[in-house]
Amino acid sequence: MNVHAIKAIYVFEMSRTFRTVMQSIASPVIATSLYFIVFGSAIGSRMTAIEGISYGAFIVPGLIMLSILTESISNASFGIYMPRFSGTIYEVLSAPISFVEIVAGYVGAAATKSVILGTIMLATARLFVPFEIEHPLLMALILVLISVTFSLFGFVIGIWADGFEKLQLVPMLIVTPLTFLGGSFYSIDMLPDFWRQVTLFNPVVYLVSAFRWAFYGVSDVHVGVSIAMTLMFMGLCLAAIWWIFRTGYRLKS
């Protein structure tokens, strides 16, 4: 394992983040804080509790998950797309490093940014909404697992995209709607039976459910099933990345 290569890619990507703090960190934190203020403090205080949890506290995991998913995908996809766009990807591919080390550097940096962002959002949410974390260690593990999984997914999108428009296509038009419809602002048990069964085909339901269980010990789907679904999606992303480097899809042309 070429640790120096992983470190070089990782440090470069992290330094890019700290050069654009307003865009990478401040902007999503401010946007999510507005949700906390509007839905948590203003509207939440006038809504009934869900499963014994105040509405403001209930939506905290979903709102954090919304930002983590979109930022993980965006950071990883942009990180690998820019070397392709500028042509420096050929220097990386010709260097004596394996695809595992390349992925570890780019995905590790993107996941680290997401974990930092999630931690800041947790601290920010505490300023507006009172809540407790019932399983803090599991919450941290789920946060890392989801950050890594969707950073891998973003890496795949960064290889697939042939323009800047496509980089935002999946996060904005697919992931964000699925997150809003995945129980971020409500429990899917509140839906009619038919729509509840339809919602179970939304993969984000399992992510939000597992994250919420780590906070309050309640979930729409069993936490074991949620984690298993996340690991399965991670496996699919790893298989896609292996195929990309095996065939050179959009890397060598």
Distance in angstroms (rounded) separating the CA atoms of residues 227 and 211: 10
CB atoms within 10 A of CB 81: 23
Per-residue pLDDT of the chain (253 residues; tens, 9 = 90+): 889 999 999 999 999 888 888 877 888 888 888 888 887 767 766 777 888 888 888 999 999 999 999 999 999 999 999 998 888 888 888 888 999 999 999 999 999 999 999 999 999 988 888 888 999 999 999 999 999 999 999 999 999 988 888 888 888 888 889 988 888 888 998 889 998 999 999 999 999 999 999 999 999 899 999 999 999 999 999 999 999 999 988 887 6
Residue 233 CA to residue 164 CA, distance in Å, equals 25
Residue 50, φ and ψ in degrees, nearest 5: -115, 115
56/60 Cα distance (integer angstroms): 7
What is the C-alpha separation between 16 and 48, in angstroms, rounded?
Answer: 44
pTM of the complete model: 0.92
- Tokens at 197, concatenated: 């069964």
Closest CA to 73 of 145, 147, 137: 147
